[in-house]
Amino acid sequence: HTAILLIVPNSLFGMGNPLLDISAVVDKDFLEKYGLKPNDQILAEDKHKALFEEIVKKFKVEYHAGGATQNSIKIAQWMIQDPHKVCTFFGCIGEDKFGEILKQKADEAHVDAYYYEQTEEPTGTCAACITGDNRSLVANLAAANCYKKDKHLDLKENWKLVEKAKVYYIAGFFLTVSLESILKVAKHASENNKLFTLNLSAPFISQFFKDALMEVMPYVDVLFGNEMEAATFSKEQGFQTEDIEEIAKKAEALPKVNKKRPRIVVFTQGKDGTIMTKGDKVETFPVLKIDQKDIVDTNGAGDAFVGGFLSELVQDKELEQCVKAGHYAANVIIRRAGCTFPEKPDFH
């Protein structure tokens, strides 16, 4: 008999900002008008208010369920396929049309989503301004910013779902919303020798939410990021190096509460190889080749990588296999608009 490892529902837990992506191919003038870099992720300020109306009026927009953590959780569920609802997601939405779309999309993706619904703010949106294979993301968090630990996470039936999980993933973006919620989950994982994973998410997190980030870092078992985020993190932490392998080693060596597991640091670099720390070594894994003309939109590639990685991690697979799955998922996603995927994966 071969033992089949059955993954139980709610094994992978994610918590973050559920956003509806409003995605369009825009022009350079549009980026300049709103002071956007071609490839960046920022939070909307007052000067961006008009952007959300203008993008809909001026360009052909597509609406996709988004939000970094939610994307990754969906991809993980897609990679796993059966059983349904291996992945749980918590976040805050408004009681409105966009909120209904997010609920419907989570349901279609077979994710066990429990949204905290409130009426003070509308469901959050994210403008994905695409030029070539760059994407500039402007997030208007709105409802996503209203997530409350005492109103949702602490409720007995919700906390039970947290306890069921063995792997946890939260994007760094959520640090701007509810640090206390993150710490509660992170400490639970650490105390029970479960895996807590976090993403650096965007340069502004390492710059302006440094204290919150470093409060969570001692609980982080797997740290994700891309080359830009790694460089900013290094600068902000005074690592005094721009060498990505050195940055990974230094991030790995930061203080850690659960000593039973060494921290693993995984940095993607777009079309260049992904690097991962392993003991005192750093290994590089080449990404799957893709023809430039087959890239439709790189929005969601990083989220997809994490989703693929987590789908294998939650099944106790080797870390090399986790990276492979991440590369596979990212390769599928960049051939499509938004963070969307075909009916079934073809990954072995």
Q: Which sequence positions are flagged as catalytic?
A: 303
Helices 301-313, 68-80: axis angle to 10 degrees equals 50
Q: What is the DSSP string of 185-252?
A: HHHHHHHTT-EEEEE--SHHHHHHSHHHHHHHGGG-SEEEEEHHHHHHHHHHHT-----HHHHHHHHH
- Distance of alpha carbon 211 from alpha carbon 119, whole angstroms: 30
Q: Provide the b/e sequence for 321-343 (b: ≥16 CB within 10 Å).
A: ebbbbbbbbbbbbbebbbbbbee
DSSP conformation class of 153: I
Residues in contact with 243: Cβ distance below 8 Å, sequence separation at least 6, in sequence order: none
Q: Is the dihedral of CA 328, 331, 335, 341 positive or negative?
A: positive
Residue that has been written with the tokens 């992904």 in this structure: 274
Upstream peptide bond of 83 is cis (omega within 30 degrees of 0): yes
> Are the C-beta atoms of 275 and 319 separated by less than 8 Å?
no
